[in-house]
Amino acid sequence: MMRLLYINPNSTEAMTESLVSVARGAVPWVEVLGWTNPDGPPAIQGAEDGERAVAGLLALLPKARAAEVDAIVIACFDDTGLEQLRAAAHCPVIGIGQAAMTVAALHGGRFGIVTTLDVSVPVIAANVAAYGHRPACAGVLASGVPVLEVEAGGADVEARLLDTIAAATAAGAGPIILGCAGMSRLRAGLAAQSGAVLVDGVLASAHLACALASSGDDPATIATVAE
């Protein structure tokens, strides 16, 4: 059986559990493992938090090799440490942000990204450009909801996310990407209420990681083709 590993760069175990539940539901024929970075901040909100998390992510790679995982997914929309892990890992590595943008671009037209706080926007915008999606991106919009509040959920959180989804649609976006792993379990409800096509990086990465692990190709080559 293929084995995928989702690594949460932050230290919040509840977030790991919820996103791994979504991934397992997406690919029930695959063994999905979920690990939490014990040395990461409680949430990744901006470049400084991401930088703090990288050493802990790299420290998990020997354990991942021993577990014989077929692909690693970085479970943060910032794709924290993607290049460093990809260079050092024994298997393909993708990020949920990269996966979501790849799938959204395949829908055609322009996509929007709904994220958490303003501090996250520059990191995500830089990734949009690095992955070659700038012409297809209608904008990266912050909802003003912190990561751990998104994870907690609730009516107020969903209302604020719906408002931001509506703003992305008004800005010309077709498919809209949910730009936080904590939004993954909210996708179905938000889609039903908004009527928008919502792309979730946890779901997208589950399918793309399976394809990548099955291909036997170098992950950097696949990423270049996807861009």
Average pLDDT of span 191-211: 97
- Is 139's pLDDT higher than 80? yes
Which 8-state DSSP code applies to residue 181? G
Q: Does one domain contain both 11 and 86?
A: yes
Q: Does one domain contain both 21 and 60?
A: yes
DSSP helix/strand/coil, 224: helix
- Is 219's pLDDT higher than 70? no
Non-local CB neighbours of 225 within 8 Å, separated by 6+ positions: none
Q: Is the pTM of this model over 0.85?
A: yes
pLDDT digits (tens, 9 = 90+) for 85-134: 999 999 999 999 999 999 999 999 999 999 999 999 999 999 999 999 99
- Contact between residue 171 and residue 141 where contact means Cβ atoms under 8 Å apart: yes
- Is 218's pLDDT higher than 60? no
d(CA 147, CA 157): 11
Residue with tokens 């991106």: 137
Position 221 confidence tier, pLDDT thresholds 50, 70, 90: very low
pLDDT digits (tens, 9 = 90+) for 1-42: 899 999 999 999 999 999 999 999 999 999 999 999 999 999
Q: Does one domain contain both 157 and 170?
A: yes
Q: Which domain holds residue 22?
A: 3-96+203-226
Q: Does one domain contain both 171 and 210?
A: no
Per DSSP, the chain holds a count of helices (H) and strands (E) of 11, 8
Q: Does one domain contain both 108 and 77?
A: no
Position 167 confidence tier, pLDDT thresholds 50, 70, 90: very high
Q: Does one domain contain both 189 and 217?
A: no
Number of domain units in the chain: 2
CATH value at residue 157: 3.40.50.12500
Q: Does one domain contain both 55 and 131?
A: no
- Is 225's pLDDT higher than 80? no
- Is 227's pLDDT higher than 60? no
So what's the pLDDT on residue 216?
63
> How is residue 92 written in tokens?
């393909």
Average pLDDT of span 41-49: 96
d(CA 202, CA 208): 10
